[in-house]
Amino acid sequence: MRKLSDLLYGRGALKFETNESFQLLFQCWSLVGIKPLKLYRLRGMLHMCCCWFLLLLCPFTFFMGYLHTLETEPITIQLSILQAIFNILGLPMKAIVITILLTHLRSAETIFSRLDARYQSIASREQIKNCVIISTRLLSSVIFVFHFYGSATYLQALLTNGYPLNTWLPFTDYIPQPTIRYWAHFIFEVFHLIFLLTVQATMDAFPAVYIRNLRTHLNLLTERVSHLGENAELTEEEHFEELVDCIVTHQELLEAKNIVESVCSITLFIQFVIVAVALCVSMLNFFVFADRQQQVVTVTYYLGVMLQIMPTCYQASMIEADSAKLPDAIFHCNWLAMDKRCRKLIIYFIHRAQEDITFVALKLFNINLTTNLSIVKFAFSLYTWMSNMGFGQNLKDLLE
C-alpha cells in the first residue's frame, strides 16, 4: 500500500495499478465506519458502532435543533439550517446503500486487475499512473473543499459565540454550568461535523473516481483497437486472437460499468432530489430573507451543493463522449489486412460498440451535465414561480 503523498504525486518504483485509485476512498470509509477496520475484532466493532451512532443520530439532532431555532432565531438562520437538514437526511440513506452494496462494488476490482494485465507498454502504464494520480487528487480536492467550508462554519460560530450546527444535544444541553455546557456542545459539534463532512465527501465523489478509471481503460481500448491489423509480423490467427481479446476487454468494461452503476445510481438519485430541494431553499433565503453576510454564507453553501454532483456529472458526460469514439476507431483500423473471419467479427464489434456508455439514476435521470443543468434550471424555475405567486414576500410579511 502506497503512501498518500506517493498517490498524489505519482512517486514509487513499482507499477501503478488501477485499484490504487480507490485506496484513499476505502481508507476514508474505514475511518467513518462504512468499511470495517478489522473483521471480528472488538475494537473494530466498537469503532463501527460509534460511527453508525453518530451517523444515525444526525437527522434527529438536526431536526430537533431546527425546531428549537423556530422560537429563538430569525428566519434566515432557520432556512440555513433547513437547507442543511435536507443533506443530512440523505446521508444515512446513502451510507446504508454503500454498506449493503460494498462487496458488490469491490467486485469491480477483479475486473480492473484483469484489464491492467493487458497493458504493459510504457505509454499505457503511464496513462494508468496518471489516472491514479487524478483520481486521488479529485477525491482529496472534494474532501478539502468540504472541510474548508466546515472550518469557516466553526470560525463563524466561534466569533459569534454560537454553535456550528445549532443541533439539539440532550447529553450536553442539560449541563448546569454555562461555560462548560457551551464548550462541550461546541467541541462535540465540531467533531460531529468533521465526521459528517468526510462521509458526505466520499459518498459524493466515489462515482466520479470510478467513472474516471473506466474512462482511462476505455481510451486505452480505443487506442488499441485503432492499431488492429497494422503489425505485419503477426499471423492471421494472432490477428484474430487480438481482435477477440479487444472484444472481451470491451465486455469486461461494460461489466465493470454495470457494477458501478448499480451502486451509484441509488446514491445519485437521492443526491439529485436533495440538491434540487436544497437549491430552492437556498435561493428563497438569498433573494428574500438573507442580509449581506448571510447571502455570502448562502452562496458558499450553494456552490458546495453544486460540487456534490458536478464531478460525477462531468465524468459521466465525458465517458459518453469517449464511448462514441470507439466505433470510429474500429472502423478506421486496418481491417483490409485481415482475413474474412476477422472482418465478420469486426462488424459484430462495431454493432456492439455503437451503444453509448451512459449512467442512469434509478432508470429515471441520465447522469450527465445536462441533468446537472436541468436541476439548476428547475430550482430557478421553482423560485420564479414562488416569486410570481408572492409566496416569499407573503411569508416574510407574515413572519415579520
Task: Give 179: exposed, middle or buried? Use CB within 10 Å, 0-12, 13-18, 19+.
Answer: exposed
- Long-range Cβ contact pairs of 289-294 (< 8 A, separation 24 or more): 289/74, 289/75, 289/76, 289/79, 289/392, 289/396, 290/76, 290/79, 291/76, 294/76, 294/77, 294/80
Q: pLDDT digit string (tens) for 310-335?
A: 888 899 999 999 998 988 888 888 87
Q: What average pLDDT does the segment 361-378 reach?
A: 81
**Higher-pLDDT residue of 42, 212:** 212
List the single range of 60-69, 89-98, 137-146, 287-296 with lowest mean pLDDT.
Answer: 287-296
Q: Which residues span the domain enclosing 271?
A: 15-399
User: What contacts 352, CB < 8 A, 6 or more positions away?
Assistant: 247, 250
Query: Is 49 within the bounds of a domain?
Result: yes
**Higher-pLDDT residue of 338, 124:** 124
List the single range of 114-123, 165-174, 195-204 with lowest mean pLDDT.
Answer: 165-174
Query: Is 3 within the bounds of a domain?
Result: no
Give the chain's mean pLDDT: 82
Q: Which helix (H) or strand (E) holds 27?
A: helix 23-31
Q: pLDDT digit string (tens) for 224-282?
A: 888 887 777 777 888 888 888 989 999 999 999 999 998 988 888 888 888 877 777 77
Query: Is 322 within the bounds of a domain?
Result: yes
pLDDT band at 308 (very low <50, low <70, confident <90, very high): confident
pLDDT given for residue 288 in this prediction: 66
64, 167 Cβ separation under 8 angstroms:
yes
Q: How far apart (Å, rounded) are the C-alpha atoms in residues 209 and 235? A: 39
Query: Is 201 within the bounds of a domain?
Result: yes
Strands 365-366 and 360-361: antiparallel
Looking at the structure of the chain, the number of domains it has is: 1
Query: Is 6 within the bounds of a domain?
Result: no
Query: Is 4 within the bounds of a domain?
Result: no
**Higher-pLDDT residue of 15, 84:** 15
Q: How far apart (Å, rounded) are the C-alpha atoms in residues 258 and 262? A: 6
Whether residue 394 is predicted with pLDDT greater than 70 in this model: the reply is no
- Which set of grid coordinates corresponds to residue 66? 431546527
pLDDT given for residue 214 in this prediction: 94
CA angle 155, 58, 28 (to 5 degrees): 75
Q: What average pLDDT does the segment 26-41 reach?
A: 80
